[in-house]
C-alpha cells in the first residue's frame, strides 16, 4: 500500500465525501487535516473513512469529531497494518445492523475473486438477510444493500452495465477483517487445507456457513460431516474432488460450486432432491458433468437454479412444479421444459437451445407474466424451427409486459454442424 501525496490524499478524501475537492473544505478544513494525517496517505484508509463520513447525510462537525476521536492518537504517528485494521473496524462498527451479515457473507468468496452482484444478492435472500419493506421486491431491496456497501467503500465496484455495478471485488485487507469478525461470531468457516477440515471436525461449535477453497480430497468427508449438520450455506471453489455428503445437510439453503473452465469432474447432486430448505443452487463448471435427481418437485423453496455445465442427459421433467422458482438458467443443449407455461413465478430464464422446442412451449412463454430477463439461443435455420415457431416466439415475447432485459442469440445449425 503505497502512500499518496498530501495533495492527492486531500483530493481523494473530499471528492469521496462531497463529490468535489472544494465543497465543505472551509468548514471541515482543520479536522480533515487531522483525519487525513491519521490515514497516513493510505488510499484504502482514506476511502473507508471518507465513505463513512459521506454516509452521514447531516455531515455535522460533531459527527466528524466523533469519528476522528475514534481513530485515536496513535494513528497519527503509526498508520501501519494494525492501525489500518482499526480504521476498517471503525467502518464496520458504524455499519447498519441489517448490512452486517451481508458484508460478512462476502467471506464465502476467495481473495481477489470477481463477485457477480446477482449471485450475491440472491444468496443473501436465500439466507434470509433481506427485509421485505412494505411489499417491496426482495431483489430490489438486496441490490440497494449492495449499493450501500459500495457507497461505504467496503467493496470495490468493477464492471458496470447501464449505470449499475454488476460485479465487484473485495480488498484483501477488508477480507481479512471479514474473516476475523466471522471467526469471532462463528459466522463463516473457510477451509484451505486438510488441517482446516480436521480443525472444524474437532471444534465445539457447529459450522454454519462453509466455504471450501482448496484441493482437499474426499477422505475427510465422513469425519467433517459430524461437525456440519447445521450448515446453511456451502460453496466450493477450485479443483477439489471433495464432495459434500448432501443427505446429512437438511438445513442447507445455499449450495454453489465453481470450478475452472477445463476441470473435468462429475458433480453428483442427486441427493439434493431431499434438501427441503434449499433455496439457491448454482454450478459454474463448463467442463464438468452434473447428475441431478430424477425428481425435484420436493424442493418447494427453491428460488434459483443456475447450471453452467456440460449437457445433462436427464433433466428433471417436474421442474415446472416448483412454484417459488424465480431464476432458471438451463445448461447447454437443454430445451424449454415441457409445461413451461406453468412456471408463473419465473422472472429470469436462460435457454441455450431452442432448436427442438415445441410450438406449445414457445407459445407458453407468453404466460410467464413475471418474466423480467429472457435470454434465448435461437437457430435461424433448423427443420424444427419453422416460420410458425418464429412467429409464435415473437408474439410471445411481445406479450411479456414486465420484460426488462432481452437477449436473442441467433445461430445456424444444419447438416449436423453449428456455425
pLDDT at 303 over 70: yes
pLDDT band at 297 (very low <50, low <70, confident <90, very high): very high
CA 179/CA 183 separation, integer angstroms: 6
Of 357, 362, 358, 310, nearest in space to 332 by CA: 310
Least reliable range by pLDDT among 199-213, 264-278, 334-348, 386-400: 199-213
Of 184 and 8, more confident? 184
Per-chain mean pLDDT for the chain = 84
Q: Within 13 Å and on the Cβ side, how many CA atoms surround 9?
A: 21
CA 229/CA 207 separation, integer angstroms: 8
Least reliable range by pLDDT among 21-25, 29-33, 214-218: 21-25
pLDDT band at 381 (very low <50, low <70, confident <90, very high): low
pLDDT at residue 37, as a whole number = 78
CA 129/CA 150 separation, integer angstroms: 17
Of 149, 147, 152, nearest in space to 17 by CA: 152
Least reliable range by pLDDT among 49-53, 213-217, 260-264, 324-328: 213-217
Only one residue has cell 411489499, namely: 135
- Please give the grid coordinates belonging to residue 20: 468535489
> Mean pLDDT throughout 305-325?
92
- Please give the grid coordinates belonging to residue 322: 416448483
3-state DSSP: the chain helix, strand, coil percent, rounded to 5? 40, 15, 40
Of 39, 49, 152, nearest in space to 100 by CA: 152
pLDDT at residue 66, as a whole number = 77
Supply the DSSP symbol for 108.
G
pLDDT at residue 229, as a whole number = 77
pLDDT at residue 58, as a whole number = 46
> Mean pLDDT throughout 84-90?
81
- Interhelix angle 6-18/29-39, rounded to 10 degrees, is 120
Q: Taken in order 252, 107, 118, 308, is the CA torsion positive or negative?
A: negative
Least reliable range by pLDDT among 105-109, 177-181, 201-205, 405-409: 201-205
For residue 222, count CB atoms less than 10 angstroms from its CB and return exposed for 0-12, middle for 13-18, buried for 19 or more: exposed
Contact 166, 118 (CB under 8 A): yes
Only one residue has cell 440472491, namely: 122
User: Cα-flanking dihedrals φ and ψ of residue 167, to 5°?
Assistant: -140, 160
For residue 376, count CB atoms less than 10 angstroms from its CB and return exposed for 0-12, middle for 13-18, buried for 19 or more: buried
> Mean pLDDT throughout 271-286?
94
Q: Within 13 Å and on the Cβ side, how many CA atoms surround 360?
A: 5
Contact 133, 141 (CB under 8 A): yes
Of 213 and 363, more confident? 363
pLDDT at residue 198, as a whole number = 62
E strand or H helix at 111: none
Q: Give the CATH H-level superfamily of domain 231-418.
A: Ribonuclease Inhibitor (3.80.10.10)
Only one residue has cell 481477489, namely: 112
Contact 107, 182 (CB under 8 A): yes
For the stretch 136-162, pLDDT in tens is 899 999 999 999 999 888 999 999 988
Least reliable range by pLDDT among 95-104, 165-174, 189-198: 189-198
CA 191/CA 155 separation, integer angstroms: 23
Only one residue has cell 488510499, namely: 43
pLDDT at residue 223, as a whole number = 53
pLDDT at 74 over 80: no
pLDDT at residue 353, as a whole number = 82
Of 331, 239, 245, nearest in space to 283 by CA: 331
pLDDT at residue 415, as a whole number = 47
pLDDT at 24 over 60: no
pLDDT band at 195 (very low <50, low <70, confident <90, very high): low
Contacts of 332 (CB under 8 A, 6+ apart): 309, 310, 311, 352, 353
Candidates 1.10.3470, 1.10.10, 1.10.220, 3.40.50; CATH matching 97-172: 1.10.10
Contact 375, 351 (CB under 8 A): yes
Q: What is the pTM of this model?
A: 0.85
Amino acid at each position: 500500500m503505497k502512500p499518496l501525496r498530501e495533495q492527492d490524499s486531500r483530493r481523494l478524501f473530499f471528492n469521496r465525501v462531497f463529490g468535489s475537492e472544494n465543497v465543505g473544505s472551509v468548514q471541515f478544513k482543520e479536522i480533515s487535516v487531522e483525519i487525513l494525517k491519521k490515514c497516513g496517505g493510505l488510499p484504502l484508509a482514506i476511502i473507508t473513512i471518507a465513505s463513512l463520513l459521506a454516509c452521514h447525510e447531516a455531515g455535522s462537525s460533531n459527527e466528524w469529531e466523533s469519528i476522528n476521536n475514534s481513530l485515536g492518537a496513535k494513528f497519527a504517528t503509526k498508520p501501519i497494518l494494525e492501525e489500518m485494521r482499526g480504521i476498517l473496524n471503525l467502518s464496520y462498527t458504524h455499519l447498519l445492523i441489517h448490512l452486517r451479515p451481508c458484508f460478512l457473507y462476502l467471506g464465502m468468496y476467495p481473495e481477489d475473486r470477481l463477485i457477480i452482484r446477482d449471485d450475491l444478492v440472491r444468496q443473501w435472500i436465500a439466507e434470509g438477510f433481506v427485509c421485505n419493506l412494505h411489499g417491496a421486491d426482495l431483489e430490489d431491496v438486496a441490490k440497494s444493500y449492495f449499493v450501500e456497501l459500495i457507497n461505504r467503500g467496503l467493496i470495490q465496484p468493477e464492471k458496470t452495465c447501464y449505470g449499475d455495478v454488476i460485479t465487484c471485488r473485495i480488498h484483501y485487507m477488508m477480507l481479512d477483517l471479514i474473516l476475523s469478525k466471522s471467526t469471532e461470531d462463528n459466522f463463516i468457516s473457510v477451509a484451505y487445507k486438510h488441517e482446516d477440515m480436521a480443525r472444524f471436525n474437532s471444534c465445539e461449535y457447529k459450522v454454519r456457513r462453509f466455504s471450501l477453497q482448496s484441493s482437499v480430497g474426499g477422505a475427510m468427508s465422513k469425519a467433517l460431516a459430524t461437525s456440519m449438520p447445521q450448515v446453511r450455506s456451502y460453496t466450493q471453489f477450485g479443483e477439489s474432488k471433495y464432495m459434500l455428503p448432501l443427505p446429512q445437510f437438511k438445513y442447507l439453503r445455499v449450495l454453489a460450486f465453481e470450478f475452472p473452465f477445463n476441470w473435468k469432474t462429475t458433480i453428483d447432486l442427486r441427493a439434493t432432491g431431499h434438501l427441503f430448505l434449499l433455496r439457491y443452487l448454482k454450478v459454474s463448471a463448463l467442463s464438468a458433468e452434473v447428475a441431478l435427481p430424477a425428481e425435484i418437485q420436493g424442493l418447494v423453496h427453491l428460488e434459483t437454479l443456475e447450471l453452467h455445465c456440460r449437457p445433462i442427459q436427464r433433466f428433471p421433467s417436474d421442474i415446472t412444479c416448483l412454484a417459488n422458482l424465480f431464476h432458471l438458467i438451463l445448461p447447454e443443449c437443454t430445451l424449454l421444459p415441457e409445461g413451461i407455461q406453468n412456471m408463473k413465478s419465473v422472472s429470469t430464464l436462460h435457454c441455450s437451445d431452442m432448436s427442438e422446442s415445441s410450438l406449445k412451449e414457445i407459445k407458453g412463454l407468453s404466460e410467464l407474466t413475471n418474466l423480467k430477463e429472457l435470454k434465448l439461443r435461437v437457430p435461424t435455420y433448423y427443420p424444427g424451427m419453422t416460420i410458425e415457431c418464429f412467429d409464435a416466439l415473437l408474439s410471445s415475447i411481445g406479450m411479456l409486459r414486465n420484460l426488462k432485459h432481452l437477449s436473442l442469440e441467433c445461430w445456424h445449425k444444419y447438416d449436423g454442424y453449428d456455425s
